[in-house]
Amino acid sequence: MPERIAIFGGAGNMGRRTEAEARKQGHQIQIVDPRAEIQVDPEEAIAWATVLYFSLFAKDLIPVLDQYGRSIRLDQIVLENTSTKNPIINTLKGLDEMGISVCSVHPFAKHDQPPGGQKVVILPIGTNFNKAQIFAQEFYGNMGMIIIRHSIEDHDALMVPEQLPWHTANRAHLLTFIRLGYRFSQLWNLAPANTELGLASTARTGIQNPTISATIIFNYLKTAEGQAWKATYPRSLEEIFKAAEKGEETLAALLAQTNEYLKEDGMDQQMNEATTIILESNANLRLHSLTVHSLDNKPGVLAAIATIFAENGINLNAVGNRPPDGGVDIRFGIDKGTDEASINQAVIALRELGFEVIERHKEK
């Protein structure tokens, strides 16, 4: 059933993504955000909406709910998507005590990343959460996201090992590169396979809004788990440096603990397979690729394009797709032995079918 959704913070990155996904599902939208082109009065938006979705940092959400919380009706649904929950638990429970159906969510997907196959944590609030939880499950389920359920009280403690180390270490790596005068492009161009994965993870964090990392680091360090990590991580680094001073054999003996750790539950094999797939696909796409844009994102598009390649004797070794705003971009890795005449014929055939070849890349 289509809802009327007022998105507070809808002009931000995640707010815009939420708006786009909601419109795809047929919901009506109003954006409440001082950055928006069209200004909507918050009180009027609340009166109009059936669902209130807050896409705000915790420090901004609390004053907004303090100011407008009393205007929220008992028949409305409230969702919010902050990445840290401890600062807002009492505020959300206050809405629940008023009889409002509230559910907190934490989507594990960057705003410009297709949500399908990504994870979202759904965290019910209080005792009136049922209606909000059902809507949240349908909303994110329709995006193809993997739904994980947890209690909001446990959220920040669970997220400490999932997010705190990477936001802290990746930002520290970048600061160290800056201090030592390394250009990131030079590091990337030279990177061996393992380093390529590490640099990609580092950059993935670094290109995000720094407030996201600051919020995660600042709030998670307030937890007991965050304090334990803060005390233990420097000790682990110091262990490595001290072992290195004693010699390679001593250092290798210490690092062997990490190999044994990854063998638990067969994670060493699983991670080796997962990272090899990523590296092999990226390498093939980097060597020789063709990116095709389709106005339609529907069953049969990939098959139609692949048929053209097959008819022209082109062997594909990698495929990656990315839905932009409208349609879909599909990048195909092409076998290095493919002759240019076959590719040119395929490009002509693709254009005749209404597809657009938007990028053609070959490593020199």
The domain ranges of the chain are 4-150, 155-237, 285-362
Does the 285-362 domain belong in CATH 3.50.50.60? no
The Cα–Cα gap between 148 and 120 comes to 6
Please give the angle made by the CA atoms of 281, 284 and 285, to the nearest 5 degrees.
Answer: 85
What does the pLDDT average to over 68-82? 97
Span 185-208, pLDDT tens digits: 999 999 998 999 999 999 999 999
Cβ pair 52, 10 in contact under 8 A: no
The Cα–Cα gap between 156 and 164 comes to 10
Span 282-298, pLDDT tens digits: 999 989 999 999 998 88
Q: Domain 4-150 adopts which CATH fold? A: Rossmann fold (3.40.50)
Q: Is the pLDDT of residue 243 over 80?
A: yes
DSSP string, 67-121: HHGGG--TT-EEEE--S--GGGHHHHHHHHHTT-EEEEEEEES-TTS--TT-EEE
Work out the pLDDT band at 115, boundaries 50, 70, 90: confident
Predicted local confidence at residue 7, as pLDDT: 98
Provide the residue type at 51 as one letter.
Answer: V
Predicted local confidence at residue 11, as pLDDT: 93
Q: Pick from 324, 315, 317: which is nearest to 292 by CA?
A: 324
Work out the pLDDT band at 359, boundaries 50, 70, 90: confident
Please give the angle made by the CA atoms of 303, 359 and 18, to the nearest 5 degrees.
Answer: 75
Same fold, 4-150 and 285-362: no
Locate 135 and state its tokens: 């809507």
Locate 69 and state its tokens: 């919380």
The Cα–Cα gap between 318 and 156 comes to 38
What does the pLDDT average to over 308-337? 89
Predicted local confidence at residue 1, as pLDDT: 81
Predicted local confidence at residue 265, as pLDDT: 94
Helices assigned H by DSSP within the chain:
13-24, 42-48, 58-68, 89-97, 130-142, 152-180, 184-190, 193-206, 210-220, 224-246, 248-263, 267-287, 301-311, 340-352
Provide the residue type at 147 as one letter.
Answer: I
Locate 329 and state its tokens: 């971009």
CA 331 from chain centre, in angstroms, equals 20
Q: What is the pTM of this model?
A: 0.83
Total Cβ atoms within 10 A of residue 94:
16
